Amino acid sequence: MKRFEENSTNRLFEKSLIDREQMDQISEYRALNVFSVHTELKLFLYLSVLLFTSGIGILIYENIDSIGHIAILSLLLIVTIICYYFSFKNAVGFKKQQTSFENPLFDYLILAAILLSCIFIGYLQFQYTAFGTHYGLATLIPTVIALFCAYYFDNKSILSIAITGLAAYIGLSVSPQALLDNNFQQSDSLSYSAIALGIVLIVWSIYSTKIELKKHFNLVFLTFALHLINISCINNLFEPYWGVFIILLAVSSYYFYTVSYSIKSVSLFVFTILYAYFGLNFLLFKIIDLIDIQDLMILFSFLVPFYFIASIILFIRLIKKFNKNKTDDCTR
C-alpha cells in the first residue's frame, strides 16, 4: 500500500499536477502515520442501530404476553415518531444533488426510524390484520416510506431497504438464505419478475443520470439489477429454453462490464466477470455435450486444470487492468 501511494504521488509530480514542495508535504504527512477512525465510528453506529432494532424485536417476542399488544405498538410508535421528528428537524431538505446531515448521527437515526416503521407495520398486520387479506400492503407501505426517506435524506442504506421491500412485494426474497435455498426454482415467474425488476432499476438509473437526480444512487440500483438479472438467467440455464437466457446473460455481462468502467466500481466489475465466467463455462459444457468427443475425453481431462489456472490468471490480470485504469483516471 505504501509503495502504491508513493507511485501515485510520483505520477502526479511527473504530470506536473503538483510541484516539488507539495510532493514533499505529502510525503511528510504520510510519514506521520496518521489514520482516521471515521469509518470505524460509522460502523459502530450502524451496528448500534441494528442491535437496537434487534433488541426491540427480541423484547416483543419474549414479553408479548406480559406487556400486551397495545403497549408494544404504542411504544414502537412513540420511539418511531421521535426518530422521525429529530431527523426531519435536522435535515437540509430535499435536493437533487448529494446532501448530508451536518451531524452524521442523524443518518443512523433515520435508518432506525425506517427499521422501526417496518417492525410496527409488520406487527400491526400480523396481530390485527390491519390491511385485511391484502398482505402485500404490509410490505408496500414501508417500501414507499423508505423510498421517500432515501431520496429526502439522501441515504443509501434506506434505499437498499426500499429496493429489497419492492422485490419482496413482487414475490422475491432477496437474501443470502433465499439464494442458498434456491427459491427461484419454485416458480419460473419469479425469475421473470426478477429480470423485469432488474431492467426497471437499470432504466431508472439511466433516467436519474439524465435528469441529475441523486446520480450517486446509481451504484445501489445497478448492484441490485446485476444480481437480480444474472442470478435469474443462471437459474434458467437449466431449463429447455436455456439459449434465450444465455444470450440475455451475455448482453447483461457486456452492459455491466461497460458500466463498471464508466462509474469505476470494482464490485460491479468483479461480479460481472464471475457471472460471465459461469455462463461461458455452461456454454462450453453444452457444446461438449452436443459434440461426441469420447475419444478425446482423456485429453480434455488433462486440459481442464490448465484451463482453470489460465482462468485465474486472466481474472487477476483483468482486475489489475481495471485498477490501473481507475487509478489513471483519478490522477488526470
Burial 8-47 (b: 16+ CB within 10 A, else e): ebeebeeeeeeeeeeeeebeeeeeeeeeeeeeeeeeebee
- Total Cβ atoms within 10 A of residue 279: 22
pLDDT at residue number 326: 65
Greatest CA separation found in the chain? 75
Task: Rounding to the nearest 10 degrees, give the CA dihedral for residues 98, 100, 106, 108.
Answer: 40
pLDDT at residue number 3: 63
Report whether 150 contacts 181 (CB < 8 A).
no
pLDDT at residue number 176: 45
Report which secondary-structure segment, H or E, holds 196. helix 188-211
Residue 276: closest CA among 323, 233, 307: 233
Give domain limits for the chain.
1-35, 42-169
**C-alpha to C-alpha distance for 92 and 332, rounded to whole angstroms:** 33
pLDDT at residue number 180: 45
pLDDT at residue number 188: 63
- Grid cell, residue 150, equals 432515501
pLDDT at residue number 161: 92
pLDDT by residue for the chain (332 residues), tens digit each? 556 566 676 777 677 767 777 777 777 766 666 656 666 677 777 787 778 777 777 776 676 666 677 877 888 889 899 999 999 999 888 888 888 888 888 888 898 899 889 888 888 887 777 777 777 788 889 999 999 999 999 999 999 999 999 888 877 654 444 544 545 445 566 788 889 999 999 999 999 999 999 999 999 999 999 999 999 898 888 888 888 999 999 999 999 999 999 988 899 999 999 999 999 988 888 877 777 666 666 666 777 788 888 888 888 888 888 877 766 555 45
